[in-house]
C-alpha cells in the first residue's frame, strides 16, 4: 500500500516527447552541439527517419530520479546494396571467450565482466547519411529539409 500512496511526482508517467525534451533544454543542447546541418536531399538519396527513446532512471527504491531522452536514427530502414555496402557486427565467438577464460584461469588472472553500450557512439563515419529532422524540432523555415 505504501507504494501506491507514495509521492505521485516520482511515479512513472506517460509524457510527451516534445514537452520533456524541450523542458529540459534538449533542443538548445542539440542545436548548440551542431549535430546536423540542414541540406537539400540529393536526387537518388533517401532520408532516414528518427525516433525518440525514453528511459526513466530509478534509484534502488524504484523511484524515478531522472527522465532520459535519446534520439536514435532508424537505420533498419536502409536497404543492403542501395544505402550501404558493408555491415559490421563485432561479436566475440564463444570459442574465443572459452579460450580467454581457460588461459586466464591457467595463469591465475582475475577476470571481470562489463557491459559496454557506447562502444561505437563516437566514431566518425565516412559516408554521407541523410536524416529527417527530429520529431518536435522541425525548423519552421525549412520543414521539408
Residue 4 lies in a domain: yes
pLDDT in the model for residue 74: 76
Residue 17 lies in a domain: yes
Domain that holds residue 142: 1-85+123-145
What is the chain's alpha carbon radius of gyration, rounded to the nearest angstrom? 22
What's this model's pTM, rounded to 2 decimal places?
A: 0.46
Residue 101 lies in a domain: no
Residue 1 lies in a domain: yes
Residue 104 lies in a domain: no
Number of domains, the chain: 1
CA distance 119 to 125: 14
Q: Tens digit of pLDDT per residue, the chain (145 long)?
A: 333 333 334 444 444 555 555 555 555 556 666 667 788 888 888 888 888 888 888 888 988 888 777 777 777 666 655 555 555 566 778 999 999 999 999 999 999 887 666 555 556 667 777 888 877 777 778 777 7
Residue 113 lies in a domain: no
Residue 133 lies in a domain: yes
Residue 14 lies in a domain: yes
Amino acid at each position: 500500500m505504501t507504494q501506491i500512496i507514495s509521492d505521485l511526482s516520482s511515479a512513472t508517467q506517460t509524457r510527451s516527447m516534445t514537452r520533456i525534451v524541450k523542458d529540459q533544454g534538449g533542443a538548445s543542447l542539440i542545436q548548440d552541439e551542431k549535430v546536423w546541418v540542414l541540406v537539400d536531399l540529393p536526387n537518388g538519396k533517401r532520408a532516414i527517419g528518427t525516433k525518440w527513446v525514453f528511459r526513466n532512471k530509478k534509484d534502488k527504491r524504484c523511484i524515478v530520479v531522472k527522465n532520459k531522452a535519446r534520439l536514435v536514427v532508424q537505420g533498419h530502414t536502409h536497404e543492403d546494396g542501395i544505402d550501404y555496402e558493408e555491415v559490421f557486427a563485432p561479436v566475440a565467438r564463444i570459442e574465443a571467450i572459452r579460450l580467454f577464460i581457460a588461459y586466464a584461469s591457467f595463469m591465475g588472472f582475475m577476470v571481470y565482466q562489463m557491459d559496454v553500450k557506447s562502444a561505437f557512439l563516437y566514431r566518425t563515419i565516412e559516408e554521407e547519411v541523410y536524416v529527417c529532422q527530429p520529431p518536435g524540432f522541425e525548423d519552421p523555415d525549412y520543414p521539408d529539409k
